[in-house]
Structure 1
Amino acid sequence: MNTLTIRIETLIQKIFWIKLVCLFFCLVLLPFQKTGAQEIPFITEPETGQHNNIRIYLMEKADEITNSAFNNIDTHETWINEKDQRYSELVQSLGLNYMPLTEERPDLNVNYTGKIQMDGYHIEKLYFESLPSLYVPANLYVPDNIRSLCPAILYLCGHSESQKVAYQPYAHKFAQLGFICLIIETTHQGEVCGDHHGCYSKGWFNWYSRGYSPAGVEVWNALRALDFLCSRKEVDTGNIGVTGRSGGGAQTWFVSAIDKRVKAACPGVGATTLNEQILTKTIDWHCDCMSPINTFCRDFSEIGALIAPRSLLIEQGDRDRLTTIEGVKELYKKVKKIYGFYNTPQNVELIETQGGHGATAEGRKKMLSFFLEELMGKKVPVEKISDVDFSPEKMLSSKDLRVYKDGVPADDRTTTIYDSFIRIPEPPLIKNKNELFAYRDSVICFLEKNTFGAFPDKKCSFEPHMVFRSIDKDNFGSNIYTFVPEEGWRLRLDMRWKNNPKEKKPLLIVLKNPGDQFGEVETFSKQLGEKWNVAYFNTRGVEDAGWENSLQWHIRRSSAWIGRTIASMQVYDLLRCLEFCRTLPGIDSENISIAARDGMGAVALYAALLDGNVATLILKNPPPTQNESSCPDGKGQAVEMLNCLRVTDVCQLPALMPQTNVKIIGEVPESYQWAENTRCKIGSTSFQKE
């Protein structure tokens, strides 16, 4: 073989191995490169398959919550292992983790203000102190000539003016049957009218940030009412029942789930599955007291399951204006599954009546029969029980039943209890960096679990597209990208290259506001300097990912019922945007900053805290706090985030990220003083102000 032949064969072998290595790189190594190493496809056709529809999204998430209830619970053992955790979640969602549930409770300081003698029973008028200066007016119906311990009924009022007057026929009937019956008024429509309608009609969406639901106060008052009943010498404490309709029905579910002293419960027209409420928009008609703060994304059936194996009768009309019978049947089916684990499926029953939201004779008589059997051991057929008597001549007047005959106690907190029921901590005194970092970590831990717990467990693929590109004589042009932060959403990022995209340079993400006029965000960004590339970002709620302003009230309430808020969803969008931008060529991934105006400043601050690697925050007119009210119609900026005020506030966040430069344009709210002082104390930069 001559030398030329050998050289040719050697060259062929080298070419072969080079091709093999290239093939290995393309097939094996290339797929593992970051997205930024790949060319983002340019899309010329309209993008389809991503709906960017908030109503569809909310319905889908409600469906996931309802359909996944008990999915991982198939045996009695798995339920028992889960039950305590579910109980703790409900306690926290109601705000009862601040209450002495297991410790000794303060004295009730019961005051009796009058007595009315009836035929065979009497009515005692009284009020007790459930918390310091929180007084609960009540009427106690007591059979005469009691010779042995009596079973008792706690009747919880629904939404009716002059509550203990409106619902007195039930108490009269229970007393005639030999029960002791206590009717307590809510903080909403009793002798003292407080508020259940904070988010519903007053724009107090900061209730969500506080982690406050009126349900929490009502449940606590009901637990103290049980304490009162158990303190009465005539009451058989082993035979106590709870019932109520509408709002009182919802409270019956909550109280019975929380307190094991309830032997039998009969909620009327007070609950359904979460997906049914969101799908039909019946949530729009529901009072704020009808749901706890749904921190842990639970379905109502998961509350009902905590009552098992105690006796539960669910009463529901088939044409209720607030609830579909189909939803209640699904709720019943899910709760009955848990009763089956105790081998007591007979202990839960659904009575379906023909009618609307009001009670029917059939439902009332079934309820009476239920309590006679469960609390007295008397099996009385429904057809042999007379109905509750609503005759006007049998009704006592509000004057007759009035408890506060000499006026409401001067220190009563009923009308302002929403401001103090949930404890809002003061920011701590920070002495050094170690204390700050420990505090920061505890805040982030709380927020991840209790404010942003609805973030997807698994991140979806970005599926990035380029939908526009240009080049200008004065700069390096622009690219418009879209990407998927969460299934169901495709968001827009408008990248303006001020530097050569082949060189890694700083990036400033500028958040657009809902309702921005054309060119408004560009005018803002011109104040921010020319050193960085600029990306204008639309979170959901903005432009083509937005919704009609008339939907804002519905969205703010319904998103909270499924464990989210508009602002928390926008925080997730911005976190994914930061992640996406770090995959792009021409971006220094260690030098990304955020600029935001007005309410979007809250989104920027929380995202920067969770991300932990934002270089600079530029804020114009940032919100001073998340503990302020909004417009009653729900329109305007929405900065509320579930439970955040239990641990921090937006104005405190700059102190928790000392590595991030903070620049504030416009007047610095006084509430930010703690954050600035803390930054200076540990040697971080103070705010840049303009």
Structure 2
Amino acid sequence: MIDELRPLYSLEKAYEVLTPVYRFDLNSSEEFGRWKSGFRAKLIELLGGFPEKVELKPEVVQRVHLKGYTREKVLYRTAPYVVASAYMLVPDDIKGRVPAVLALCGHGYGNKDIVGINEDGTDRDSPRPLPQGYHRDFALELVKRGMVVMAPEIMGFGERREVEDEEKGPYASSCRRASFYAMMLGKTLIGMRVWDAIRAVDYLEQRDEVDSSRIGCMGISGGGMVSLFTAALEDRIKAAVVSGYLCTFKGSILSVRHCEDNYIPGILKYGEMYDIACLVAPRPMLIESGTDDPIFPVDAADYAYDKVKKAYDLLGVPYNLVRDRFKGGHHISGRISYDWLHSALSK
């Protein structure tokens, strides 16, 4: 077959010769501030911009005490015409203010799957050696370590779906229609999700139990995407765990079938995924990558990690970038990340 007959051929060639405007190619740490400011502004623009802040008006609509912590369900407003929901996990016997973590789920049946709630709304049975599913109840692992955990329902998942998608069952998302609708309006679903996460930080700062100087985030897959972009754009995130996501757009999003929520029009003209990750520097970040992850291939993840490492090296904090390259697939590892995040937020 003649290569030029393939629709992707010219696009692949365009990628090969592309020099992104904000490619991280700095020679001194003094350049970092200007690069970061310019890239952040452009990235927010590409995400569709952020709306005005509205009053959160939080309301606790459910509270239940469980073994070692209290779980609350909270409703709050993030933007005009937008109400978000989240589970709050608050450890028992808190003394003073403690670190807090945004726990961000990926595709599935929503935030219930990371706080120990089954699809039907019942609490899981007694703890098992390894929870089923790729989320591994990671929000519970974080609250066990004495941190307040906020698990927002991601827009398009769980109870934040369209009625027709709810009727298809708990695992059907509203990503497709929401993503295309947003793009036609000059927005992106990922931008709307990141804004929700930023407003979640605003809410955490209002909680009496939370030390607002020690807020982190952790996410897997689509939640890893939100974790990475939020940390890249929000300095109040003091440490981040990105699981099952950091890769290259070329090696993953453009090479493997992915949900529509992953796409940002025009992003490659300005930076690759690893350039976005460089915006997190010099703050602590841990990357989890499964060697057998089928949708974020480890070879491309290795390449991306090496690129991000250059930013941390340049800024003189190589120890603030950590990698758990574990033998496994597309799931939370946790063998390093839970304790690492607690330690990073306790300094």
* Cα distance change on mapping 1:66 and 1:276 into 2, 3 Å: farther
Instruction: Determine whether 1:83 maps to 2:36.
Output: yes
Q: Displacement of 1:99 after TM fit? A: 2.3
Shift of 1:212: 2.3
Aligned residue in 1 for 2:271: 298
Counterpart of 2:240, as a letter, is A
Distance of aligned partners of 1:352 and 1:63 in 2 relative to their CA distance in 1, 3 Å threshold: farther
Could you tell me how far apart the structure 2 residues matched to 1:336 and 1:140 are?
33
| Map 1:512-551 → 2, pairs under 5 A | none
Query: Could you tell me which residue of structure 2 aligns to residue 179 of structure 1?
Result: 147
Pair 211,118 (structure 1): closer, same or farther in 2 beyond 3 Å: same
Which residue identity is paired with 2:215? Answer: I
Residue 120 of structure 1: CA displacement?
Answer: 2.1
- Secondary structure at the aligned position of 1:316 is classed as strand
Higher relative contact order (CA 8 A, sep 6+): 2
Aligned residues: 313
Q: Does structure 1 residue 99 correspond to structure 2 residue 78?
A: no
Give 1:38-117 correspondences, 5 Å limit: 51=4, 53-65=6-18, 70=23, 72-96=25-49, 98-100=50-52, 105-117=53-65
Q: Give 1:334 deviation, angstroms.
A: 1.1
Say whether the 8 Å CA contact 1:276–1:327 is kept in structure 2. yes
8 A Cα contact 2:97 2:211, kept in partner? yes
Distance 2:43 2:235 in 1: 14
Q: 1:165 aligned to 2:135?
A: no
- Which residue type is aligned with residue 266 of structure 2? N
Query: Deviation digits for residues 67-100 of structure 1, max 9, x if unmatched?
Result: 887365222233333221101011111122x424
- Indicate whether 1:124 and 2:72 are aligned: yes
Paired letter, 1:313: L
Identify the residue that residue 152 of structure 1 maps to in structure 2. Answer: 100
Q: Is the 8 A contact 2:224 2:244 kept in 1?
A: yes
Q: 2:206 aligns with which of 211, 231, 240?
A: 231
Match of 1:8 in 2: none
Partners of 1:63 and 1:81 in 2: CA distance: 26
Q: Report the residue type matching 2:56 in the other structure.
A: L
Is residue 268–residue 314 contact of structure 1 (8 Å, CA) maintained in 2?
yes
Tell me which amino acid in the other structure corresponds to 2:315. Answer: Y
- Letter of the 1:290 counterpart: N
Separation of aligned partners in 2, 1:68 and 1:352: 30
1:373 and 2:326 aligned:
no
Partners of 1:114 and 1:53 lie apart in 2 by 55
Shift of 1:237: 0.9
Q: In the aligned structure 2, how far is the partner of 1:50 from the partner of 1:245? A: 37
Structure 2, unaligned runs of 5 or more: 116-136, 163-173
The code of the aligned residue for 2:158 comes to: G
CA distance in structure 2 between the aligned counterparts of 1:142 and 1:66, rounded to whole angstroms: 46
Counterpart residue type for residue 70 of structure 1: R
Residue 265 (structure 1) shift: 0.3
Report the Cα offset of residue 318 of structure 1.
Answer: 1.0
- 8 Å CA contact 1:59–1:278 kept in 2: the answer is no
Find 1:271's aligned residue among 240, 246, 257: 246
Q: CA deviation at 1:184?
A: 0.5
- Tell whether the 8 Å contact from 2:24 to 2:311 is kept in structure 1 after alignment: no
- The Cα of 1:172 is off from its aligned counterpart by 2.1
2:224 corresponding residue in structure 1: 249
Instruction: Note if contact 1:62-1:274 (Cα within 8 Å) is conserved in structure 2.
Output: no
CA contact (8 A) 1:150 1:235 kept: yes
- Decide whether the 8 Å contact of 2:62 with 2:72 is kept in 1: yes
Residue 196 of structure 1 corresponds to 175
- Cα distance per residue 1:390-419 (max 9 Å; x no partner): xxxxxxxxxxxxxxxxxxxxxxxxxxxxxx
- 1:312 deviation in Å? 0.6
Distance of aligned partners of 1:345 and 1:209 in 2 relative to their CA distance in 1, 3 Å threshold: same
Contact kept in structure 2, 1:137 and 1:185, CA below 8 Å: yes
Partner of 2:118: none
1:214 to 189, 193, 199: 189
- Kindly provide the CA deviation profile for residues 604-662 of structure 1, in whole angstroms up to 9, marking residues without a partner as x: xxxxxxxxxxxxxxxxxxxxxxxxxxxxxxxxxxxxxxxxxxxxxxxxxxxxxxxxxxx
Aligned residue type for 1:233: D
Counterpart of 2:283, as a letter, is R
Note closer, same or farther for the CA distance 1:257–1:278 as it changes in structure 2 (3 Å cut). Answer: closer
1:349 to 2:322 alignment: yes
**1:412-436: per-residue Cα shift (whole Å, max 9, x none)?**
xxxxxxxxxxxxxxxxxxxxxxxxx
Q: Measure the CA separation in 2 of the matches of 1:313 and 1:72.
A: 22
Local SS of the residue matching 1:252: helix
- Any idea what SS the aligned residue of 2:334 has? helix
Partner of 1:313: helix, strand, or coil? strand
d(CA) in 2 for partners of 1:147 and 1:332?
38
Query: What are the Cα deviations for residues 418-464 of structure 1, in whole angstroms up to 9, with x where unaligned?
Result: xxxxxxxxxxxxxxxxxxxxxxxxxxxxxxxxxxxxxxxxxxxxxxx
Aligned pairs for 1:521-670 (under 5 A) are: none
Structure 1 CA distance for aligned equivalents of residues 139 and 65 of structure 2: 14
8 Å contact 1:66–1:274 — kept in the other structure?
Answer: no
More helix by share: 1
C-alpha distance in 1 between matches for 2:25 and 2:329: 35
- Distance in structure 2 (CA, Å) of the matches to 1:306 and 1:255: 10
Is the Cα–Cα contact under 8 Å of residues 59 and 275 in structure 1 kept in the other structure?
A: no
- CA–CA separation in structure 2 for the residues paired with 1:331 and 1:72: 14
| 1:66 and 1:273 in contact (8 A); partners too | no
Q: CA shift at 1:373, angstroms?
A: 1.4
User: Cα offset for 1:294?
Assistant: 2.8
Once residues 337 and 263 of structure 1 are traced to their aligned partners in structure 2, the CA distance between those partners, rounded to angstroms, is: 20
In structure 2, distance between residues paired with 1:164 and 1:136 = 12
Match of 2:280 in 1: 307
Report Cα offsets for 1:501-552 as digits up to 9, x if no partner.
Answer: xxxxxxxxxxxxxxxxxxxxxxxxxxxxxxxxxxxxxxxxxxxxxxxxxxxx
Q: 1:63 to 1:373 in 2, by over 3 A?
A: farther
Sort the Cα spacing of 1:65 and 1:366 in 2 relative to 1 into closer, same or farther, 3 A.
farther
Structure 1 counterpart of 2:328, one-letter code: G
Q: Cα 1:333–1:66, aligned 2, differ >3 Å: closer, same or farther? A: farther
TM-score (norm 1): 0.43
Q: Secondary structure at the residue paired with 1:193?
A: coil
Query: CA 1:347–1:66 in 2, change beyond 3 Å: closer, same or farther?
Result: farther
Instruction: State the one-letter code of the partner of 1:251.
Output: V
C-alpha RMSD of the superposition = 2.2
